[in-house]
Amino acid sequence: MRDPGTWLYPLPVVLVTCQGRGTQPNIITAAWAGTVCSEPPMISVSVQPRRYSHGLIKERREFVVNIPTASQAEEVDYCGLVSGRDVDKFEACGFTPEESRRVSVPGIKECPVQLECKVHSIQTLGVHDLFIGEIQAVVHDPAVIANGRIDPKAADPLIYVMGQYLNMDSVIGWQGMSRRRGDTQ
């Protein structure tokens, strides 16, 4: 046994874009993110109040969750090491701000999927504040979709396990495959 800790794995790592009034758009890397409701579709991102991005999201009450590829791991790491207080991360990473459809904060054109969110609520937890966002639009590169769902080979998701970045090697099953056993309802 160990002391209590954040041992859930694997995690997606996302690039959250945000912008204050009269400021440049910024990017924060976040691994503490997840789907929290299917109807209405909602996603959560936990951000420490000391992050520059925290104030930007709180002020505008909008953000975009950009899902990077494994080949963007270097940029993801960089956006998690430097602050938008000091650096224009879009410029430093060669990312292009892309006008969003339903929110006023831009997404990252180079990321294959962008989830445009309006802040539903903010919960103070401890070191992190939990931002729950209601997804207003899903914008994606058509190349990462096959048969109406994400094609993992094309989307090449970036996976995070306790400080390590991984890519996804292979698909090993599909939802509902255990019905073959005959003893499921």
Ligand X SMILES: Cc1cc2nc3c(=O)[nH]c(=O)nc-3n(C[C@H](O)[C@H](O)[C@H](O)COP(=O)(O)O)c2cc1C
Question: Min. distance of Cβ 181 from ligand X in angstroms?
Answer: 38
Q: Return the number of the residue (82 or 145) whose C-beta is nearest ligand X.
A: 82
The answer for 78, left when phi > 0, alpha when psi is -120 to 50, beta otherwise, is alpha
Cα distances (angstroms) measured from residue 58 to each of 52, 167, 179: 11, 32, 45
Residues 16-45 binding ligand X (CB under 6 A) are 26, 28-32
Cα distances (angstroms) measured from residue 130 to each of 51, 70, 116, 120: 13, 25, 17, 11
Residues 59-78 binding ligand X (CB under 6 A) are 77
Q: Does 105 bind ligand X (CB under 6 A)?
A: no
Choice from 17, 19, 44, 53 touching ligand X (CB under 6 A) = 53
Contact indicator for 129, 32 with CB cutoff of 8 Å: no
Q: What is the DSSP letter of 157?
A: B
Question: Min. distance of Cβ 145 from ligand X in angstroms?
Answer: 26
Question: Min. distance of Cβ 105 from ligand X in angstroms?
Answer: 14
Place of tokens 């997404």: 107
Q: Return the number of the residue (12 or 152) whose C-beta is nearest ligand X.
A: 12
Nearest residue (beta carbon) to ligand X: 80
Instruction: Give the residues lining the site for ligand X (CB under 6 A).
Output: 13, 26, 28-32, 46-48, 51-53, 77, 80-85, 160
